[in-house]
Amino acid sequence: MGEINRKEITDYVYQANKRLSPISKKNILTNLSVLFNFMVRRDLLEVNPVEKIDRPIVPFQKPHVLIPTDFEKLLRTCHRNNWNDRLTIFVLVGFCGIRTEEGSRLKWSNVQLDRQIVEVPATVAKKASFRNNSIPANAIEWLKLVEDKRRTGSIIGPTWESQLRSAIVSSRISYHQNAIRHSFCSYAIGAGWPLADVISFMGHSGSPSMIHSHYRNVVSEEDGKRWFSLVP
């Protein structure tokens, strides 16, 4: 590993893998940098050869979001079929900014309607940082449909990915990966939420300027307010 230099890595990324997309090349460099930084911290290397390699420019792509009527259709499909676990996850992601993976690890006890918060323990949060997300008024109404104070254990089972996918297919909506989380951020900014609140809800480590530039002007203020007024 100590014999690998900057030129060899550059040739590997930009020549041997020249057909890869810019984001794939960037991911390769990021992963290699993590590895070499680890070796530097362990005094196995003096410098990280990836550090000064230029990263490829990743063209901006407008995030895919669900239109409010499609999200309402998805939630109603879950309610009609008594898919309470799936309904809860979609509500937490779409209205509270929780990551889908985080939601899949939450327990019913983490959803506290009396306090109007959902707890995201450090053991669940992607960034290992505890946070309490407020539950918007419209989300409270959806969660009241499935509230059962006797419930314990996880909100959804270990096959949650296939369960959520099945619900999306059954609702017959236009959907792209992570569209519900992208929708939360886009509609929250569109509705006029303070940027700091949006970032806090998402548990995001990105810079405020990056979040703002990526998600602003994706939806209108009218649609933002419409999203957070969806009720059963």
pTM: 0.77
Per-residue pLDDT, 205: 66
| Of 162 and 205, more confident | 162
Task: Give per-residue pLDDT as tens, 181-197.
Answer: 999 999 999 999 998 89
127: confidence class by pLDDT, cuts 50, 70, 90: low
Q: Which domains does the chain have, with CATH numbers?
A: 1-59 (1.10.150.130), 68-227 (1.10.443.10)
Report the range out of 125-139, 145-159, 163-177 with the highest average pLDDT.
Answer: 163-177
CA distance 191 to 201: 15
Task: Give per-residue pLDDT as tens, 136-157.
Answer: 999 999 999 998 777 889 999 9
Contact (CB, 8 A) for 211 and 199: yes
SS (H, E, C) the chain: CCCCCHHHHHHHHHHHCCCCCHHHHHHHHHHHHHHHHHHHHCCCCCCCCCCCCCCCCCCCCCCCCCCHHHHHHHHHHHHHCCCHHHHHHHHHHHHHCCCHHHHHHCEHHHEECCCCEEEECCCCCCCCCCEEEECCHHHHHHHHCCCCCCCCCECCCCCHHHHHHHHHHHHCCCCCCCHHHHHHHHHHHHCCCCHHHHHHHHCCCCCHHHHHHHHCCCCCHHHHHHHCCCCC
Is the pLDDT score of 109 beyond 80?
yes
129: confidence class by pLDDT, cuts 50, 70, 90: confident
For the beta carbon of residue 2, count every other beta carbon within 10 angstroms.
9
Percent of the chain exceeding pLDDT 90 equals: 69
Is the pLDDT score of 172 beyond 90?
yes
Mean pLDDT (whole number) for 78-105: 96
